Amino acid sequence: MAGFFDKLSGISLIPRALAGLACVALVSGCEVKAPAGDEPDEASTAIPTIRPPAPAPTLTLGPATRTEIVAAVASAADATAAGLPLPEANLTLANRTFELHLPFGCGPDAGSAWGQVRRDPSTSVLRVSVTPERFGQNQRIAATAAGEPFDAIEGFWIERPWTTAETCPKSAPSAPVQSTGNAPNPQPAAPQTLAIAQFFKPDAPRTSQRGNRPYTYVGKPDPADPALGGAMRLRLTGRISGFADGHPVHCHTSNPSAPPLCVVAVEFTGVGIEDVQSGKILTEWKY
For the stretch 84-100, pLDDT in tens is: 999 999 999 999 999 99
Does residue 135 contact residue 262 with C-beta atoms inside 8 Å?
no
The 3-state DSSP class for residue 109 equals coil
Mean pLDDT of the chain: 82
Share of the chain above pLDDT 70, in %: 71
Domain boundaries, the chain: 66-165+190-286
Pairing of strands 152-157, 215-219: unpaired
Residue 64's alpha-carbon distances to 58, 102, 196, 248, in angstroms, are: 18, 14, 13, 12
Higher-confidence position of 144 and 27: 144
Give the pLDDT band of residue 67 (cuts 50, 70, 90).
Answer: very high
Question: For residue 22, what pLDDT is reported?
Answer: 43
Start-end of H helices in the chain: 2-29, 42-45, 66-81, 139-143
Question: For residue 119, what pLDDT is reported?
Answer: 85
Give the pLDDT band of residue 14 (cuts 50, 70, 90).
Answer: very low
pLDDT > 70? residue 11: no
pLDDT > 70? residue 224: no
Instruction: Give the tens place of pLDDT for each residue, 156-179.
Output: 999 999 999 999 988 755 555 555
Q: What is the phi-psi region of residue 212: left when phi exceeds 0, alpha when psi lies from -120 to 50, beta otherwise?
A: alpha
The tally of CA atoms less than 13 A away on the side-chain side of residue 157 is 18
Rounded to an integer, the average pLDDT of 19-23 is 43
pLDDT > 50? residue 236: yes
Amino acid at 70: V
CB atoms inside a 10 Å sphere around CB 256: 8
Beta partners for residue 219, in sequence order: 126
Rounded to an integer, the average pLDDT of 212-241 is 86
- Residues sharing a CB contact under 8 Å with residue 25, sequence separation 6 or more, in sequence order: none
